[in-house]
Amino acid sequence: MNQDKCNSMKNLQAVSFVLDDLRLFLDTHPFEAEALNNYENYKKQRKQALEDYEKNFGPILCYCVKEDKQWTWVDSPWPWEGEV
């Protein structure tokens, strides 16, 4: 996997991990204002990280394939695979 793709995936995974951790905290502290603000901020960061990854390296999930003429999901290595 090339370094840019690897870094982009690591960034997406890190932001996703923070969101998961905040979600678990909010499950038991639903009125914690700082956690709610952090959740919204990291949600925006994850959305941007996902958009950046997909723009540069293709969709993360098959549901995000944006092709209407040909199914391209299987044309390149999947996000968890290395370069061929």
Alpha helices by DSSP H, the chain: 3-28, 33-57
Which whole number is the average pLDDT over 1-24? 93
Tens digit of pLDDT for each residue in 27-74?
999 999 999 999 999 999 999 999 999 899 888 887 777 777 777 777
Around 73, how many Cα atoms within 13 Å sit in the side-chain half-sphere?
9
